[in-house]
Amino acid sequence: MLNKNVKLNGKTVLVTGAAGFIGSNLVLALFKGFENIHVVGVDNMNDYYDVSIKEYRLQEIENAQKSGEWTFVKGNIADKELIDGLFAKYQPALVVNLAAQAGVRYSITNPSAYIESNLVGFYNILEACRNYPVEHLVYASSSSVYGSNKKIPYSTDDKVDNPVSLYAATKKSNELMAHAYSKLYNIPSTGLRFFTVYGPAGRPDMAYFGFTNKLIKGQTIEIFNYGNCKRDFTFVDDIVEGVKRVMECAPEKENGEDGLPLPPYRVYNIGNSSPENLLDFVDILQKELVRAGVLPQDYDFEAHKKLVPMQAGDVPITYADTSPLERDFGFKPATPLQVGLRKFAEWYKEFYKI
């Protein structure tokens, strides 16, 4: 286990993508877990998916009990002046960069959104961390960096320079950029490769949410690769727990034999480490949607399912080797799908007033 070397109580933490799925859950967990913390959240509230879900998440943060302070700034991380201004004003001790253009398929039709948010935006964050030193920069990478890795489970020791989407290429680039900045400017940084995150108030562009929207409208859902896809579905609370633990352990600054700083740089997988077949996942989702009352008992699921070939940019399996996470933080995601999907189905019913 690593020693905690970053105290969060009383600190200012900048969370980008704070109105996002993972970001908003992280902000809530920071207020719950730490005292007198000042969280500065940035998000440009873009309409890649239904903005009312982002507004709902921000409202949840407003409503939460907190001993510390919450500041929300609507803005774009690709706006260098804005980011520099925020660092100058708030001097955050920690930065968690979650703002990004997410989604694999959208990167095929809208590549420029990825260059702007994931590359220019992340570069601005790195430059700001260089000019206003932070105790720890934690940033989201993705399981998609593994591309069509043949070896499973996916390990952070695997060579990952064969991305199969622009999204994956930007996430791998983030790791490379962070490595260079860690080395050159001694910025302690940790990249986290998240594996298919799901949960209440999740992202409508992800399969479980999209399937639910379609089933409720009586439309047919398309199951890619004829259902032979396996995904390491990870419940959002597990991701947030992992991020929190990682935030408290920054890579130590050390000098190498040449007297120059070694890059204080690490990368971890955070995934459930138990891949589920997409068809089994859909089966559990169906049962939970019926149980929550989102869909009727007698819903004819078979009539609303179509097995289709694999999509460009998709990979057949994702499977996280989480042993370094367990070794260093004594933690691994373990929420069963049924528990996580139940929470999603119950939230869905309440949010859409079904």
Ligand X SMILES: NC(=O)c1ccc[n+]([C@@H]2O[C@H](COP(=O)([O-])OP(=O)(O)OC[C@H]3O[C@@H](n4cnc5c(N)ncnc54)[C@H](O)[C@@H]3O)[C@@H](O)[C@H]2O)c1
Q: Which residues form the catalytic set?
A: 167
Instruction: Find all residues with CB under 8 Å of 150, minimum gap 6, and list them.
Output: none
What's the min distance (Å) between Cβ of 197 and ligand X? 4
Helix axis angle, 121-131 relative to 80-90, nearest 10°?
Answer: 30
Nearest to ligand X by Cβ — which residue?
Answer: 20
Phi, psi (rounded to 5 degrees) for 133: -50, 140
Interface stretch with ligand X, choices 13-21, 261-269, 291-299, 345-353 (CB under 6 A): 13-21
CA gap 184, 283 in Å, rounded: 50
CA gap 124, 115 in Å, rounded: 12
Q: Binding of ligand X at residue 19 (CB under 6 A)?
A: yes
Identify the three-state secondary structure at position 78. coil
Q: Binding of ligand X at residue 98 (CB under 6 A)?
A: yes
- Count CB atoms within 10 A of the CB of residue 238: 21
Q: Compose the 237-276 pattern: x for residues touching ligand X by CB under 6 A, - for all others.
A: ----------------------------------------
Among 8, 37, 40, 54, binds ligand X (CB under 6 A): 54
Do the strands 136-142 and 221-223 form a parallel or antiparallel pair, or are they unpaired? unpaired
Interface stretch with ligand X, choices 15-23, 254-262, 288-296, 300-308 (CB under 6 A): 15-23
Among 2, 6, 33, 46, binds ligand X (CB under 6 A): 46
Q: Binding of ligand X at residue 156 (CB under 6 A)?
A: no
Whether the link from the prior residue into 153 is cis, omega within 30° of 0, is: yes
Q: Where are the alpha helices (DSSP H) in the chain?
A: 21-33, 51-63, 80-90, 106-109, 111-114, 121-131, 166-185, 207-216, 236-247, 278-292, 323-329, 337-351
Interface stretch with ligand X, choices 92-100, 245-253, 325-333, 340-348 (CB under 6 A): 92-100
Using the minimum distance from each CB to ligand X, give the nearer residue, 48 or 132.
48
Using the minimum distance from each CB to ligand X, give the nearer residue, 54 or 66.
54
The number of CA neighbours under 13 Å toward the Cβ of 116 is 12
Among 21, 123, 265, 319, binds ligand X (CB under 6 A): 21
Q: Binding of ligand X at residue 194 (CB under 6 A)?
A: yes
Interface stretch with ligand X, choices 41-49, 104-112, 124-132, 338-346 (CB under 6 A): 41-49
Q: Where are the alpha helices (DSSP H) in 221-293?
A: 236-247, 278-292
Contact residues toward ligand X (CB under 6 A) are 16-17, 19-23, 42-46, 54, 76-78, 98-102, 117, 121, 140, 142, 194, 196-197, 203
